[in-house]
Amino acid sequence: MALDLSPQEASNIGTELQPRRSVIELRDVSKHYKDAGAPIVDRLTLSISEGEFVALTGPSGCGKTTTLKMINRLIEPSSGQIIINGQDVGDLPSHRLRQGIGYVIQNVGLFPHMTIADNVAAVPRLLGWKKDRMTPRIDELLSMVGLEPSIYRDRYPRELSGGQAQRVGVARALAADPPILLMDEPFAAVDPITRTSLQDEFLRLQQSIRKTIVFVTHDMAEAMRLADRVVIFGPQSKIAQVGAPTEVLSAPADAFVASMLGSGRLMQLLSCVRLRDVSLDRWPTLAQGLEGDERLAALSSAKIEGKNRVLVLDEAKRPLYWIYSDATGESSKVEVDCKLELDATSLRDAITQIVYCSHDCAVVVDGDGAFQGIINIQGIRRSLAPLAGAGTSAANIGVDK
């Protein structure tokens, strides 16, 4: 059971495997201001495919916001080409271009003189939507970002908390259902706990809406948590590394990237790797309703494998309970107390759960609740071994080999 993460495969984690159309393409894009000597963005080439979540990250002032704003032409590039859906962004009137791209700005930027509903409806109104289409859409969006429409619809931005305002900012960007979303530190202005829950909600939202997202953040951990691919800007406006979070975390390209990642790398890595990305251990199972001899046979063959219990599944393969055999051949039922979901659970969550679990291992199920295998601490350690070896010493990120 090893975590098979060659770079190519690693970059596919969280995305389907078929090659996808590139939606946003930056070709040799540079930006420099007349008065400043060095370019802010230096010959950046990047291709972002449909439904991909890309995070731009790096130290303050490295050109993340500038790069983002060049995509919707709030800033004109000095040279190079930006292509969206096969069309040069310069070919379109800039307001048309922007109406088709959701934009969440660094400081929320809600319109203080408009109600929340009017704020959310800003883009649809520009597009000339009729009222009977707009009203249900506003309510839908507010619920989508976790704000009860009947309470918040008619409020003004100043009557919201920072976190609520951020949510409205996201709702406004999503209003006309643009396929592309640009987000500039959308969760920066809230406390860490709210930020984490906003991130979780946003990830869940993204599962269903599947937008192509370019997300700017200076918070490495946030980038790693959210993105399919991370672009790390280095000194002198160069890209230091591009890759999937697991790839970057397990093999930082250079000392700069390693220093940006900081000391919490192992924990971040554990957060990034999901149970679906590792191979699980098998465990003897038994169909529900089988009694007597069949049960005894199952228990004894489990014993040969060195296991003192079998897992009973119902007809949909959902785990029900453990059956233990004791020395006298009697058997006893024990509840399954630790069940983890394949797609939703990170290794980090798995470790936390297993520590509190009475059987030293957790049962893993898929989205429908069907049994997939089990995972325990040894299994996690084994799956981390190849990662720890790649590019850095195990001791460096705290893995005991």
Partner 1 sequence: MTIFSSSIDLFQATDTAGESSGFEPIKAGSSGRRVRRIGHFVFRPLMLILILGLLILYLHSTPLDSIDRRSLYWSTIRSELFQQLDLTLISSAVVTVLAVLLGILLTRRKAPIANSIVTALATLGQAAPPVGLMILAALVLGVGARTAIYALIVYSILPVLRNTVTGLSGLDKSILEAARGIGMRPIQILVGVELPLAVPVIMAGVRTAIILNVGTAALATFINGGGLGTMITTGIAVDRTPIIVAGSVLVAVFALAMDWVVMIAGELLSPS
Residue ranges of the alpha helices (H) in 276-346? 292-304
Q: How far apart are CA 368 and CA 279, in angstroms?
A: 19
Give the nearest distance from C-beta 136 to ligand ATP in angstroms: 36
Angle 377-389/347-355 helices, nearest 10 degrees? 150
The DSSP element (H or E) to which 9 belongs, if any, is helix 7-10
In the window 65-124, what residues touch partner 1 (CB under 8 A)? Answer: 72, 74, 95-100, 103, 105-113, 122-123
Q: Which residue is nearest to Mg ion (CB)?
A: 65
165: buried, middle or exposed (CB in 10 Å: 19+, 13-18, 0-12)? buried
| Nearest one of 399, 361, 359, 365 to 382, comparing CA atoms | 399
Nearest alpha-carbon partner for 145 in 181, 101, 111, 99? 181
Residue among 137 and 172 whose Cβ is closer to partner 1: 172
**How would you classify the pairing of strands 239-243 and 41-49?**
unpaired
Q: CA–CA separation, 19 vs 50, rounded Å?
A: 10
Q: Estimate the share of the chain in helix, then strand, then coil, as percent rounded to the nearest 5.
A: 40, 25, 40
Residue 105 binds which entry of ligand ATP, partner 1, Mg ion, none, CB below 5-8 Å type-dependent: partner 1
The smaller minimum CB distance to partner 1, of residues 54 and 123, is found at 123
Does residue number 159 form part of the binding site for partner 1 (CB under 8 A)?
Answer: yes
Cβ-based nearer residue to partner 1, 159 or 200: 159
Kindly state the smallest distance separating residue 58's Cβ from ligand ATP, in Å: 6
CB of 225 to ligand ATP, least distance (A): 18
Binding mask 52-91 for Mg ion (x = CB under 5 A): -------------x--------------------------
Quote the least distance from Cβ 199 to partner 1, whole Å.
22
Q: Determine phi and psi for 88, rounding to 5 degrees.
A: -65, 130
d(CA 71, CA 98): 9
390/5 Cα distance (integer angstroms): 10
Query: 214 with 48: CB under 8 angstroms?
Result: yes
Closer residue to ligand ATP (CB): 61 or 136: 61
- Residues 6+ away with beta carbon under 8 Å from 66: 31, 40, 41, 75
Question: Cβ closer to ligand ATP: 61 or 398?
Answer: 61
What is the distance between the alpha carbons of residues 127 and 390, in angstroms, rounded to a whole number? Answer: 51
Q: Which is nearer to partner 1, 183 or 347 (CB)?
A: 183
Q: How many residues bind partner 1 (CB under 8 A)?
A: 26
- For residue 116, the minimal CB distance to ligand ATP (Å) is 26
Of 60 and 328, the one with the shorter C-beta distance to ligand ATP is: 60
- Tokens coding 82: 């930006």
Contacting residues toward ligand ATP, per CB under 6 A: 33, 36, 40, 60-66, 218
Residue 123 near which of Mg ion, ligand ATP, partner 1, none (CB within 5-8 Å, type-dependent): partner 1
The token pair at 78 is 């000095």
The site partner of 40 among partner 1, Mg ion, ligand ATP, none (C-beta below 5 to 8 Å per kind) is ligand ATP
Q: Taking the mean position of all CA atoms in its chain, how far away is CA 270?
A: 13
Pick from Mg ion, partner 1, ligand ATP, none: which does 96 bind, CB < 5 to 8 A by kind?
Answer: partner 1
Min. distance of Cβ 275 from Mg ion in angstroms? 34
Q: Which is nearer to partner 1, 85 or 106 (CB)?
A: 106
Q: 204-263: which residues touch partner 1 (CB under 8 A)? A: none
Residue numbers at the binding site for partner 1 (CB under 8 A): 72, 74, 95-100, 103, 105-113, 122-123, 126, 156, 158-159, 172-173
